[in-house]
Chains A and B, each alone.
Chain A
Amino acid sequence: MIQQYKGIAPKGDILLIQKLCEKLRGRCILNINSTRKGGGVAEILQRMTPLLKGLDIDARWEVIEGDDRFFDITKKIHNTLQGNMDMITEDMWDHHHAVNEANSRKIDLDADFVLIHDPQPIPLIEYRKRGFYVWRCHIDVSNPLPDIWQRLERYVRSYDCVIFSVSKFSKSLPVDEFIIPPAIDPLSDKNIELTEEEVKRTMDKLNVPMDKPILLQVSRFDVFKDPIGVINAYRRVKKYNDCRLVLAGSLATDDPEGTRVLNEVRDYAGNDPDIHILLLPPSAAREINALQRAATIVLQKSLKEGFGLTVSEAMWKEKPVVGGAVGGIPYQITHGVTGFLVYSVDGAAFRIRQLLNNPGMRKRIGQKAKEYVRRNFLITRQIRDYLSVWYFLENKGQKAIEL
């Protein structure tokens, strides 16, 4: 399976994955998260598990089960870790723990390297058998509600190490903290190469004519993605350059605010025939892929963001991205080189106009963007990094290893 990435991912990443798998041959890696489908974590695990199996690693992926109450609680934990106000009562914490205890009896926790993803299964550390336990935190915990973090930190301290996505999410912890950014899969439906015919067919199906330049933002309908700001930027651009705006996204089932925001956006867009608001199901990966390929410029004008992997998705398709300078976006966009970072509606409008009027710049930035993603944000790099952390844990105390 690793062979499928040859000619796409950097040679060194593929080689190092193979070399590390040779060293770790026959050993067992166990990933545990809370969902089999949907979201970036499941997407990576779907690909990583068979890939490692193909390299003689005993790779397993388990998903914890819980009732609705459990997932309501973990959603609240997730939101409060991102700084939103909410309360987790002692009773809720007890339920969170009890569900994990029940899962610990069902899941075979016997492995050499156990990656526990996000807060839902974090208490499983209390049931460890052997091997290294690593907590992989995918969410932005740079500004959590203090008492919620303190509660989780009790578990975190028992792990062998923690992995955060970017430095600014890291903490001052008594265990090692590694920084491993997330990644996209170039072979997934969302990113795989599409024919021009398929792109055109999809745009027809979505009723978006390709007769003028297309500005696109793909995101949930959420105030932090600033869809109103995007429409304002488009209107400023439209005075000088004819174009279409596509706002494409889904409504998260766990986000009651989404419908309100969507209605606000629809009202604000009014009857402008060049604004297309597309509500797509989470399964519409290929449609998103086609939209990104059809776009002239991709926007991610977020006001608050986790890592914002949609930026890398668009960059992989050689698109110039205009992104808000928040969360993980500055790690993907080097201003003026692989895209533009903006701080306001005016900034976004200015950069869009600059790009619309300069096809050479669009091409140059697009090419650099794709190469930057190839080197830094593909799934092979992420798998390489996980294996490297495992190998360093096996060789504790070493700062440099020559294979």
Chain B
Amino acid sequence: MARYSPKGRPSDKETPIQQIRPFEFKQCIAILKATGKKASTIRELRNGISEVSDECIFHHVYQYFLKGHILEYTNDFAQWTAHFLEERALAEQLSNLDPYMFHSIEDVRKELLRIIDTFLESFPEPRPVLAGNEFYFSEALTIVFPCGVKAKNLAEFLVAIKNVDAESIYYHFYEARMRLGGGVDDFSRWIEGSLRRKDLAERIRNIDPFMHNLDGIREQIAGFVEEDLRIEMEAP
């Protein structure tokens, strides 16, 4: 593998320190609210997905990552389909859905329904799950608040990202993609926009959000930043 060399590393062209807007770390929590709807078969899951609120789809698809531990699949629907319905082929397809590719939650909903409908056309309907293992549709109420940590430069950013709660990583790396659109996270946006470190920003943007848990994302970003700082320090 080629050694990383931060070509876009700023030096003389770096934004003057007094002009850099500090990165303010925030984090969020989700308070779960039951919708009263549940599913014990794939058809009930399908019908539920077609009826529930956008907030419910948002919670089961986007806020999946807030749980902090990635299980085998990448959203609650896929997880339940695999583990309780034991339809792994369908779970794989549901898991491959990239929610950040869609412009609206309604489009995500349509895609989920398309995947399930295609499955139902081709395969016999699986048995219902055992009592107690039903899928419970939930929504979440979200509170966003500042962590009380600000970074004015990359070194401070490195210390901060190693120490903030995992929910802060979620807020800036996952939730930002919905807030900002276009698959952009807060970290890479600030590093490129304020610190003018395009290559580093690009590396962070290229982290696959579906293949790591929050601590994995934290480690990857910290590793990239550390490497960038080390190269800068060692530069003649």
Does B68 lie within 8 Å of A375, measured CB to CB?
Answer: yes
Pick the contact of B144: A11, A173, A176, A402 (CB < 8 A): A402
Interface of B is mostly: strand
Give Cα distance in the complex from A391 to B31, angstroms.
Answer: 11
Question: In the complex, how many angstroms separate the beta carbon of B39 from the nearest chain A beta carbon?
Answer: 12
CB pair B147 A12 closer than 8 Å = yes
A385 and B138 CA atoms in complex are apart in Å by 16
Select from chain B the residue with minimum beta-carbon distance to A304. Answer: B132
Q: Which residues of A contact B141 (CB under 8 A)?
A: 388, 392, 398-401
Residues in chain B near residue A176, CB distance under 8 A: 33
CA distance A322 to B164 in the complex (A): 31
Q: Which one, B71, B142, B168, contacts A401 given CB within 8 A?
A: B142
Contact A15 B148 (CB under 8 A): yes
* 0 or 1 for each of A344-385: is its CB under 8 Å from B? (1 = yes): 000000000000000000000000000010010000000011
Q: Is the CB–CB distance between B136 and A142 below 8 Å?
A: no
Question: Which residue of the partner chain B has the closest CB to A401?
Answer: B143
Q: Which of B33, B55, B136, B145 contacts A15 (CB 8 A)?
A: B145
A388 touches B143 (CB 8 A): yes
Q: Could you give, for residues 104-128 of chain B, a 1 whenever the CB lies within 8 Å of some chain A CB and a 0 otherwise? A: 0000000000000000000000000
Asked whether, in the complex, the Cβ of A177 is within 8 Å of the Cβ of B36, the reply is: yes
Secondary structure of the A contact surface, majority rule: mixed
The answer to whether the Cβ of A261 comes within 8 Å of any Cβ in the partner chain is no
B29 at interface, CB cutoff 8 A: yes
Q: How far is the CB of A7 from chain B (nearest CB, A)?
A: 12
Shortest Cβ gap from A142 to chain B (Å): 7
- Does B34 sit at the interface, judged by CB under 8 A? yes
Q: Report how far A266 CA is from B16 CA in the complex, Å.
A: 77
Interface membership of chain B positions 1-43, coded 1 if the CB is closer than 8 angstroms to chain A and 0 otherwise: 0000000000000000000000000010101111011000000
Q: How far is the CB of A311 from chain B (nearest CB, A)?
A: 16
Residues of B within 8 A of A232 (CB): none
B161 neighbours in A (Cβ, 8 Å) = none
The answer to whether A178 and B33 have CB atoms under 8 Å apart is yes
B32 contacts A334, CB within 8 Å?
no
Whether A179 lies near B29 (C-beta < 8 A) is: no
Q: Are B168 and A12 in contact, with the CB atoms below 8 A? A: yes
Contacts of B27 in A (CB 8 A): 12
Please, how many angstroms separate the alpha-carbon atoms of A167 and B132 in the complex?
10
19 further A-B contacts with Cβ under 8 Å, apart from A179-B33, A391-B143, are: A12-B27, A12-B167, A12-B168, A143-B131, A167-B138, A170-B34, A170-B136, A172-B36, A173-B36, A177-B33, A180-B32, A326-B132, A334-B69, A372-B69, A375-B166, A399-B139, A399-B141, A400-B141, A401-B143
What are the nearest 5 A-B pairs in CB distance?
Answer: A172-B36, A170-B34, A167-B136, A179-B32, A177-B34
- What would 11 A/B residue contacts be, using CB atoms closer than 8 Å? A11-B165, A12-B145, A16-B145, A19-B145, A167-B136, A170-B36, A180-B32, A388-B141, A391-B143, A392-B31, A392-B141
